Amino acid sequence: MQKLKKIVVIGPESTGKSTLCEWLAAHFHTDWVREYAREFLLTNGKQYTYDDLLAIARGQIALEDKISLPFADSHSPLLFIDTDMYVMKVWCEFVFGKCHQWIIDTIVERKYDLYLLCNTDLPWVKDELREYPDYETREKLFHMYKDIMINQDTPWIEIKGDAEDRMRLAVQAVDQLIK
């Protein structure tokens, strides 16, 4: 049995993270972890506090653990994850100028095998939960994520282009990981 490889898809809002996770899971015949923040905000309302972000972070980890647990007895070696604690760190720091220690500690504790960083080169799509439609803010957030990727040890690749290009780049990166 192969060790489960966890691939995280990160980036600013409206960059195709969820769509890419869903496509990759279908392509590789496996499962994916959805972004818990969507469920939380749809249930509790769009107005959130600093402490809500900690609740969202804990919910994201609980969801990831719940979905990855069955993989211990599975022959599927891949799990795609839409959002991790780096996303929570950026969100906390961008909106509130600080980050919960639990999120930082969790970043250190959890290990992943590959990051797919989604670029902002897709058109922004309005959504009831999205906050930053302006190009400058989206680019600033993208560069925050890119800086994190450059300064950590897990392999990563930038995902950009149209839907077909994004899928091709992502599949190539995952294929390289599992070789």
pLDDT tens for each residue of the chain, 179 residues long: 568 899 999 999 889 999 999 999 999 999 999 999 989 999 998 899 999 999 999 999 999 999 998 776 666 689 999 999 999 999 999 999 999 999 999 999 999 999 999 999 987 766 666 666 678 999 999 999 999 999 999 999 999 999 999 999 999 999 999 98
pLDDT reported for residue 1: 52
pLDDT reported for residue 76: 65
Domain boundaries, the chain: 5-178
d(CA 9, CA 115): 6
Q: What is the pTM of this model?
A: 0.93
d(CA 89, CA 107): 9
| The two three-digit tokens of residue 121, written as one number | 């080169």
pLDDT reported for residue 82: 96
Residue 21: count of CB within 10 angstroms of its CB: 25
Beta carbons of 102 and 57 less than 8 angstroms apart: yes
Exposed/middle/buried for 82, CB within 10 Å: 0-12, 13-18, 19+?
buried
Q: Assign a CATH topology to domain 5-178.
A: Rossmann fold (3.40.50)
Beta carbons of 5 and 177 less than 8 angstroms apart: yes
